């Protein structure tokens, strides 16, 4: 099959296989349960060519009782103890139990799982699945495109079902575990099943008047390259459509997995899918309260959620995530930023239940303001205006109790119609990027070992300043930098852009690292040159709430240095656009 234009990959950590656990055992207003969609008993619901088949059958009556796997869901309540594991830190969880106790469980908030499939018939999901609202993109005999059965077709299509369980597995039904928002409504779009970017774009705005949140636990390959999908402009336009028109003008909420290539030096902002205006990129921490080694740092990150570590097969003593999997079963091995992202979708569902009038601009502000500073001795933390930021953690780990409390009293900043834009302001540089102190091979293989380095400007390189004079934005919400680096002749792309350290420093003195020296890999996992830094867009959340102009300074300063000997090049041009209020 031809690879998709978007070059999508599911955000679970490779080589950690799902292990099935035996099943142990008043929904939202618009949830009817999957059985309500069943036309005839025994009807095949998916395709005749599928190796995993689903047949229409009556769902059992709703049960009551404790969720037997809840004690394994440490990310919901971390006591510091879990049988078979060690090293957990008590309290390193989503702080969600108080929200449930207050009566909020996500009722009437609808989450769309954009993924490979969703087992809408799963006994722990069906009570929350919206009747007739899911959408199947696969055509196979009687399994027609447009049917409400986006079901798995093979045993490998477990991803979306695991995501759905993290968001909204039903609580208090005597089965399995529970989701972060266990009474939220679920719809499934198997838009990744055919590897067609047009279907992903369709899913991102499908039923935008009814869906509140679109969960996207997928992204570009975790290979270190500067990934600009050919259809990025179409995706940007699609997201902007959702921001303007979704939820009757309040704007659709888009959560995205921040990426799993951190152990290989990949950097989240290099994935063009997760740095767009309106995207909420999610990073992952482990049960000890540290960045999971796979979780990619970046100045685009908003917030982290607890997820897996590197897996016991690789020597970790920390647990993964327990959730739903195929055939009414459960797995204790879901992982990666794929697992962290639906946790944030669940937290947002609780926020929206508390305050349905939050706009797409309000949601990341509430998440950032209420996030809990994790790993506080990490040298990468900086502070500005009451916010803490770290390229490894964004604004911290989501705290559901704090987020819901803040959401209740939040004064909206408005939606798309009141968002201000300054720029793009542009500069033509056309200067050589000088080679400076080279980094060692050890640093290339582990570029994030120096936690403080990502908050420091590049030195002894080429610098360029752009003035934002006249821009009246007092509170930045998003920054976009577009730049081009070429070879020495200026005729072709930089031959080894992975050699470069490029930073942006605001008038307030806060620095974002746009890219840092790192390695790139091909599809076979072999090292290859890093190219693609031509009109590349970096979307930044790091400067949230800063002013466009600080005091008498209106200059935004870009600095670029070449930190490896050999291939050299030039910084041709760059531009900056500021969004805010």
Give the pLDDT confidence score for residue 509 in this predicted structure: 98
254, two tokens: 């888009």
Give 219's strand partners: 9
Give 467's strand partners: 555
Give the pLDDT confidence score for residue 34 in this predicted structure: 40
More confident residue, 223 or 12: 223
Q: Where are the beta strands (DSSP E) in 98-248?
A: 110-114, 185-189, 213-216, 218-219
| Cβ-contact 400, 347 below 8 angstroms | yes
Q: What is the pLDDT of residues 377-402, one digit of tens each?
A: 999 999 999 999 999 999 999 999 99
Return the SS3 of 157. Answer: coil
For residue 52, the 8-state DSSP code is: S
| Cβ-contact 313, 306 below 8 angstroms | no
196, two tokens: 């067609």
Strands of the sheet with 185-189, listed across from one edge: 185-189, 110-114, 213-216, 253-257, 279-285, 303-306
Q: How many Å apart are CA 455 and CA 472, to the nearest integer?
A: 26
Q: How many Å apart are CA 165 and CA 21, to the nearest integer?
A: 14
Find the mean pLDDT for residues 32-42: 55
Give the model's confidence band at 100: pLDDT under 50 very low, under 70 low, under 90 confident, else very high. very high
- CA-nearest of 357, 227, 217 to 282 is 217
Q: How many Å apart are CA 549 and CA 95, to the nearest integer?
A: 37
Q: How many Å apart are CA 117 and CA 163, to the nearest integer?
A: 10
Domain at 419-580: CATH architecture: Sandwich (2.60)
Pairing of strands 500-505, 570-580: unpaired
Give the pLDDT confidence score for residue 445 in this predicted structure: 87
Find the mean pLDDT for residues 192-212: 98
Find the mean pLDDT for residues 424-435: 98
71, two tokens: 């004690």
Give the pLDDT confidence score for residue 10 in this predicted structure: 80
Give the model's confidence band at 260: pLDDT under 50 very low, under 70 low, under 90 confident, else very high. very high
Q: How many Å apart are CA 392 and CA 400, to the nearest integer?
A: 20
Q: How many Å apart are CA 274 and CA 260, to the nearest integer?
A: 13
Residue partners of 485: CB distance under 8 A and separation at least 6: 433, 493, 494, 497, 500, 533, 534, 560, 569, 570, 571, 572
Confidence check: pLDDT of 205 > 80: yes
Give the pLDDT confidence score for residue 24 in this predicted structure: 32
Average pLDDT, the chain: 93
Q: How many Å apart are CA 30 and CA 253, to the nearest integer?
A: 19
- What ranges do the domains of the chain cover? 9-417, 419-580
Q: Per mean pLDDT, which range of 165-174, 192-201, 296-305, 445-454 is the poorest?
A: 445-454
Handedness of CA 94, 19, 58, 151 (dihedral sign): positive
Look-up of token digits 């499939």: 117
Q: How many Å apart are CA 429 and CA 309, to the nearest integer?
A: 43
Q: How many Å apart are CA 395 and CA 398, to the nearest integer?
A: 9
For residue 247, the 8-state DSSP code is: G
Helical (H) or strand (E) element with 335: none
The rounded Cα 208 to chain-centroid distance in angstroms is 19
Q: Considering the entire predicted model, what is its pTM?
A: 0.94
Q: How many Å apart are CA 498 and CA 444, to the nearest integer?
A: 9
| Cβ-contact 188, 216 below 8 angstroms | no
Q: What is the CA radius of gyration of the chain?
A: 23
- Is 36 buried (19+), middle (13-18) or exposed (0-12) by CB count in 10 A? middle
Q: What is the pLDDT of residues 291-329, one digit of tens each?
A: 999 999 999 999 999 999 986 567 789 999 999 999 999
Return the SS3 of 286. Answer: coil
Q: How many Å apart are CA 311 and CA 235, to the nearest integer?
A: 33
Give the pLDDT confidence score for residue 26 in this predicted structure: 37
Q: How many Å apart are CA 6 and CA 196, to the nearest integer?
A: 8
- Is 230 buried (19+), middle (13-18) or exposed (0-12) by CB count in 10 A? exposed
How many CB atoms lie under 10 A from the CB of residue 339? 31
Look-up of token digits 């502000």: 365
Helix axes 362-370, 400-409, angle to 10 degrees: 130
Which CATH homologous superfamily contains domain 9-417? Answer: Peptidase S8/S53 domain (3.40.50.200)
422, two tokens: 């300054």
User: ∠ at Cα 431 (437, 454), nearest 5°?
Assistant: 45
């Amino acid at each position: 099959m031809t690879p998709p234009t978007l070059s999508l990959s599911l955000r679970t950590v490779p080589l950690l296989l799902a292990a099935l656990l035996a099943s142990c055992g008043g929904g939202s207003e618009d949830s009817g349960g999957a059985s309500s969609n069943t036309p005839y008993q025994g009807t095949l619901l998916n395709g005749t060519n599928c190796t995993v088949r689903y047949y229409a059958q009556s769902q059992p009556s709703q049960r009551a009782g404790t969720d037997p796997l809840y004690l394994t869901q440490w990310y919901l309540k971390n006591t510091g103890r879990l049988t078979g594991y060690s090293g957990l830190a008590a309290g390193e969880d989503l702080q969600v139990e108080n929200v449930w106790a207050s009566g909020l469980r996500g009722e009437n908030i609808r989450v769309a799982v954009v993924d490979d499939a969703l087992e809408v018939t799963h006994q722990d999901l069906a009570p929350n699945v919206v009747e007739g609202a899911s959408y199947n993109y696969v055509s196979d005999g009687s399994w027609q495109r447009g049917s409400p059965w986006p079901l798995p077709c093979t045993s490998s299509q477990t991803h979306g079902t695991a995501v759905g369980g993290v968001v909204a597995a039903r609580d208090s039904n005597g089965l399995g575990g529970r989701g972060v928002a266990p009474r939220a409504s679920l719809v499934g779009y198997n838009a990744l099943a055919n590897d067609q970017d047009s279907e992903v774009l369709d899913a991102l705005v499908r039923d935008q008047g009814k869906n509140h949140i679109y969960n996207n636990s997928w992204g570009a390959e975790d290979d270190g390259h500067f990934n600009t999908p050919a259809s990025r402009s179409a995706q940007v336009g699609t997201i902007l459509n959702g921001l303007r028109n979704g939820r009757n003008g309040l704007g659709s909420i888009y959560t995205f997995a921040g990426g799993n290539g951190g152990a290989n030096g990949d950097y989240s902002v290099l994935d063009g899918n997760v740095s767009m205006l309106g995207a909420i990129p999610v990073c992952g921490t482990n049960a000890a309260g540290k960045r999971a080694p796979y979780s990619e740092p970046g100045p685009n990150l908003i917030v982290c959620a607890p997820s897996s570590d590197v897996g016991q097969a690789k020597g970790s003593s920390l647990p993964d995530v327990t959730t739903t999997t195929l055939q009414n079963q459960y797995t204790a091995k879901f992982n990666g930023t794929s697992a962290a992202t639906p946790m944030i979708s669940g937290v947002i569902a609780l926020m929206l239940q508390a305050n349905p009038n939050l706009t797409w601009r309000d949601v990341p502000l509430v998440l950032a303001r209420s996030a809990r500073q994790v790993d506080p001795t990490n040298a990468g933390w900086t502070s500005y205006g009451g916010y803490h930021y770290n390229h490894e953690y964004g604004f911290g780990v989501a705290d559901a109790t704090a987020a819901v409390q803040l959401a209740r009293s939040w004064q909206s900043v408005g939606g798309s119609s009141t968002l201000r834009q300054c720029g793009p302001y542009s500069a033509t540089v056309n200067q050589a990027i000088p080679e400076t102190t080279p980094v060692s091979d050890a640093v290339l293989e582990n570029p994030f070992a120096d936690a403080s380095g990502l908050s420091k400007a590049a030195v002894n390189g080429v610098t360029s300043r752009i003035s934002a004079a006249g821009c009246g934005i007092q509170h930045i919400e998003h920054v976009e930098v577009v730049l081009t680096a070429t070879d020495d002749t200026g005729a072709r792309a930089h031959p080894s852009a992975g050699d470069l350290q490029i930073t942006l420093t605001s008038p307030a003195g806060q620095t974002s690292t746009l890219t840092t020296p790192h390695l790139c890999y091909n599809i076979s996992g072999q090292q290859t040159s890093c190219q693609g830094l031509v009109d590349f867009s970096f979307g930044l959340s790091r400067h949230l709430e800063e002013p466009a102009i600080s005091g008498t300074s209106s200059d935004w300063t870009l600095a670029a240095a070449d930190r490896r000997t050999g291939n050299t090049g030039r910084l041709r041009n760059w531009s900056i656009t500021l969004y805010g209020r």
